[in-house]
Amino acid sequence: MKRLVQWLHRLEDSVLVLLLLAMILLAGYDILARSIFGGGVSWIPPLLRVMVLWIGLLGALLATRSREHISIDLISRLGGPTLNRIASTITLLFAAVVCGLVGWFSGQYVQLAFEYQDIAFADIPAWPLQLIIPFTFGLMGLRFFIQGIAAATGKEQTA
């Protein structure tokens, strides 16, 4: 189990790093094409935009791992350890439910996009590109849930 989680972490990291590298190279190539060969490559800009979505969501997944999401965090800093634990548990489980819902409905939506053969750009169907939404939200929900349980039982654990 632990091996599997580690493997998943490494996979996320590598995909993210590779996406960023690919983004820099593709954007650079597009500029070259435009200034030297006189015209751009029409599929690069829309592809770059999809990569922004992917990088953003995978980055968010990463932030979930280390609990680094933007938050206000007032009560837990003023209260004692018990209040802190209660607040952590509730907010983490809340986040888990929200992510779970977004993931669930996104999954339904991607199915719909598949049925309708929604096109993203050029001839590329939209659904594989959109699949990242239910995937990341589902996994974020799972992580928040595990963290919430860990907070409730007083154990520190990362998933």
Partner 1 sequence: MSILVTALLLLLALAGAPLFAVIAASAMWGFFQTDVDLQVMAVEIYRVAEMPVLIAIPLFTFAGYLMGESKAPQRLVRITDAFLGWMPGGLAIVALAACALFTAFTGASGVTIVALGALLVPALQKAGYRENFNLGLVTTSGSLGLLFAPSLPLILYGVIAQQMSLETPVSIDDLFLAGILPGLLMLTALSLYSAWQSRHLPKSDQTFDRAEAWAAIKDSAWEIPLPFVVLGGIYGGFFAVSEAAAITAFYVLIVTVVIRREITFTQLPVVMRDSMKLVGAILLILAVSLASTNYMIDAGVPEKVFDTIQAHVTDGFTFLLLLTIFLLILGMMLDIFSAIVIMIPIILPIAVQYGIHPVHLGILFLANMQLGYFTPPVGMNLFIASFRFNKPVMTLYRATLPFFFILLATVLIITYWPGLSLLLVE
Partner 2 sequence: TLKIATLAPDGTSWMKVMRQAAADIKAETEGRVKIKYFPGGVQGSDKSVLRKMRIGQLQGGAIATGSLINISPASQLYNLPFTFRTLEEVRAIREEFDPYIVSELAKEGYVVLGISEAGFAYMMSDEPIRTSDDARKQKVWVPEGDLIGETTFENGGVEPISLPLSDVYTSLQTGLIDTIVVNASSAIALQWHTKVNYVTDFPLLFLTGTIIVDQKAFRKISTEDQAVVKRIMAEAFASMDAQNETDEAGARDALAQNGVEFVELSEEDKQAWEELATGVVDELASKEIYPVEVFKRLQQRLEEMRQEP
* Positions that interact with partner 2 (CB under 8 A): 34, 37-40, 42, 45-46, 109, 112-113, 116-119, 121
Q: What is the DSSP string of 116-159?
A: HT-EEETTEESHHHHTHHHHHHHHHHHHHHHHHHHHHTT-----
Residue 32 beta carbon to partner 2: minimum distance, rounded to whole angstroms? 13
Q: Looking at beta carbons only, is 42 or 71 nearer to partner 2?
A: 42
Q: State the Cα angle at 74 between 70 and 77, rounded to 5°.
A: 105
Q: Work out whether 68 is an interface residue with partner 1 (CB under 8 A).
A: yes
Q: Which of 8, 22, 41, 48 touches partner 1 by CB under 8 A?
A: 48
Query: Angle of helix 132-152 relative to helix 44-65, nearest 10 degrees?
Result: 10
Strand 119-121 relative to strand 124-125, pairing: antiparallel
| Cα gap 89→91, rounded to integer Å | 6
Q: How many residues bind partner 1 (CB under 8 A)?
A: 62
The label of the residue with tokens 């490559």 reads 41
Q: Work out whether 128 is an interface residue with partner 1 (CB under 8 A).
A: no
Residues found near partner 1 in the complex (CB under 8 A): 13, 16-17, 20-21, 23-24, 27-28, 30-31, 34-35, 45-46, 48-50, 52-53, 55-63, 66, 68-77, 87-88, 90-91, 94-95, 98-99, 101-102, 105-106, 108-110, 112, 120, 126, 129-130, 133-134
